[in-house]
Structure 1
């Protein structure tokens, strides 16, 4: 077991200095950085690339709306003689005309009915056009970055099972590539465990796997850690394993043919994710002259 001791995880050893799990279920690290300003530690570009699609679209539309509101106010301050072709005189009707003129200027559409005539209005329109060009370039870059950013289309099982395996016990979880067009080549996985010792410190171990690499991740992959003499769980009962409060973290890498790039996926299993005395049921079946892989059965288990 000593030779599997891992001191290079990047996490501390004192359990009292850390809260909760190391890695969240979605693969992100459970770390919050403090002590410096948000401006210094945050990355707007990274946030825009990684946020969810609804939030990304909401951010783009909110920026667009607020920018047009800002220039609408400037056109209003430029006075009624600043723009030619404005037909409405009522307050809200005029505001709407100025707002839609701003949208046309920001996007360089320019239908032509309304046009600036005063020097102030011309300067405002010139600055807005420049900002429109720059905003369009940035939005285009963000959209391309989001679509082209390599992603590992991998789903892990929600839990890990502790079950009989080849005359001994084993810990197992499984994963699958769920996109039709994305084939992961030379997939390799590394698994380690964090346990809490009697002196309330953490110890990390690399877990020996039955198979740590597959040439092509076409079907599902059940990752197996046999509990033998080299395992930190060897000779322990279910209660003793629970008392260790283990957290098992997995790190998967592979080459995606579509992106022509290395992709990464992470997962962790805390003790509440362990299923003792269960086994995974098959996910793929022979049908006529092909094999059907049923992704809905990723978490299908049964008692031993």
Structure 2
């Protein structure tokens, strides 16, 4: 039992170590921090206060919500208390029986706070009411009513904006845990599976990738986080994808690809990070969202392909079996892209048995079904 716990603990530490070394996490968050930023640049966040409030965490939004309302009630409560004190309305000032109050039944700080709350929230229990004898009280009532409306609109706008953020829609787009390299289209291809968990589509979807690595130029200059474009396509094309079912993103490993010089025994010794982006416009809100994830060499399987997950039920409906979404199966694959094109037969010889037992599905001819949008 202790050995099992120790093994899981080491696996957890290894996963944490990998997470810290990533630039982009599996959930799309960027692992980067800014240091030695000039203090005057922090004022830019205050100038763009709306974006700042929308992007801060929910705990701070709730704190701001409570502080804005409670603070305004207390501040105006002090002002109402000051008006009552200036007019001699307080109980400890012992006003005369025929004394004219600015606000009826405001006799102390507590009642002044309650009147402020009732005024700003338009409750109006009827016990405390403004009279027409004090012009300053009338002006304060107008100011508090306007400011209270502004606070209500601002806080409701922030909460609505945070709820409808496009990145929340991105949570329903998922990528496979692993990427695979296998033969396809008369060449070796790197493939990644992506799925839209909602039935509403992403309009005008586009996919692309960036390979991040540290390179040294012929002049001896070290470029940290050098970015190389990685083109992905599916059978339906590169742009304006019909993203109604899971797709397989394919990058052809040709001579222009940075993966061309890699091989099965050198892939996991490389140091790079493959960041994949998917952009599109949500059909229901017309917001543009971007989904991103990353893969490191240890998350790329050479000589594997994804299991098919789309089939048709006996009722004639198409069904996606997400239990096999990230599952892979070994396939005969060349040791490197150069071997594939120049040394035929230089493969991993494996028994390609890619059948999937999907009980309840009608047996249909899938063939290239798992590639792109073919069904």
TM-score (structure 1 length as normaliser)? 0.72
Of the structure 1 ranges 232-241 and 53-62, higher mean CA displacement relative to structure 2 is found in 53-62
Judge conservation of contact 1:245–1:270 (CA < 8 Å) in 2. Answer: no
Q: Which moved more, 1:218-227 or 1:72-81?
A: 72-81
Distance 2:213 2:233 in 1: 21
Task: Summarize deviations over 1:3-44 as a string: whole Å, max 9, x none.
Answer: xxxxxxxxxxxxxxxx95444544455353722342213532
Aligned partner of 2:177 in structure 1 is 159
Structure-2 residue corresponding to 1:112 = 126
Q: For the aligned residues, what is the CA RMSD?
A: 3.6
The answer to whether structure 1 residue 269 and structure 2 residue 333 are counterparts is: no
Quote the offset at 1:127 in angstroms: 2.5
**1:70 maps to 2:75:** yes
Of residues 195, 208, 231, the one that matches 1:208 is 231
Alignment of 1:130-169 (within 5 A): 130-143=146-159, 145-146=161-162, 152-153=169-170, 154-157=172-175, 159-166=177-184, 169=188
Change (3 A) 1:230 1:120: same
Q: Which runs of structure 2 are paired with 1:161-240 in the superposition (5 Å)?
A: 161-166=179-184, 169-180=188-199, 182-198=200-216, 200-202=222-224, 203-211=226-234, 212-237=238-263, 240=266
Distance 1:218 1:55, change over 3 A: farther
CA contact (8 A) 1:189 1:253 kept: yes
Structure 1 217/58 Cα, relative in aligned 2: closer, same or farther at 3 Å? Answer: farther
Cα distance in 2 for partners of 1:239, 1:115 equals 84
Rg: which structure is higher? Answer: 2
Q: CA deviation at 1:114?
A: 1.3
Aligned to 1:85: 105
* 5+ long unaligned stretches in structure 2: 1-19, 91-101, 331-375
Is it true that 1:49 corresponds to 2:72 in the alignment? no
Distance 1:188 1:47 in 2: 28
Match of 2:117 among 91, 103, 106: 103
User: Structure 1 residues 237, 46: closer, same or farther in 2, change over 3 A?
Assistant: same
Moved more, 221-230 or 183-192: 221-230
Residues 187, 255 of structure 1: 8 Å contact kept: yes
Q: Which residue number corresponds to residue 128 of structure 1?
A: 144
Q: CA deviation at 1:75?
A: 3.5
**2: CA distance between counterparts of 1:54 and 1:282?**
42
Give distance in 2, aligned partners of 1:176 and 1:54. Answer: 31
2:43 matched to 1:39?
A: yes
**Counterpart among 59, 64, 74 of residue 59 in structure 1:** 64
Whose relative contact order is higher, 1 or 2, with alpha carbons under 8 Å and at least 6 apart?
1
Cα shift readout 1:130-182 (whole Å, capped 9, x = no counterpart) = 211222232344455456665654423263323323376543333222233x2
Answer whether contact 1:160 1:173 (CA < 8 A) is retained. Answer: yes
Would the alpha carbon gap of residues 163 and 254 (structure 1) be closer, same or farther in structure 2, given more than 3 Å must change? Answer: same
**CA-CA distance at 1:129 after TM superposition:** 1.5
- With over 3 angstroms needed to count, the CA separation of the structure-2 counterparts of 1:186 and 1:120, relative to structure 1, is closer
Q: 1:98 to 1:50 in 2, by over 3 A?
A: same
Distance 2:120 2:73 in 1: 8
The answer as to 2:311 corresponding to 1:291 is: no
> Contact 1:164 / 1:170 at 8 angstroms: preserved in 2?
yes
Secondary structure, counterpart of 1:222 in structure 2: strand
Structure 1: segments with no counterpart, 5+ residues: 1-18
Q: Which residue matches 1:5?
A: none
Q: What CA distance in whole angstroms lies between the structure 1 residues aligned with 2:230 and 2:51?
A: 32
Instruction: Quote the Cα distance in structure 1 between the aligned partners of 2:181 and 2:166.
Output: 35
The alignment partner of 2:198 has SS state of coil
Contact kept, 8 Å, 2:278 with 2:290, in 1: the verdict is: yes
Aligned partners of 1:28 and 1:266 also within 8 Å:
no
Q: Which has the higher strand share?
A: 1
1:217 deviates by 0.6
Contact 1:159 1:269 in 2 (8 A): no
Q: Which residue number in structure 2 is paired with residue 254 of structure 1?
A: 280
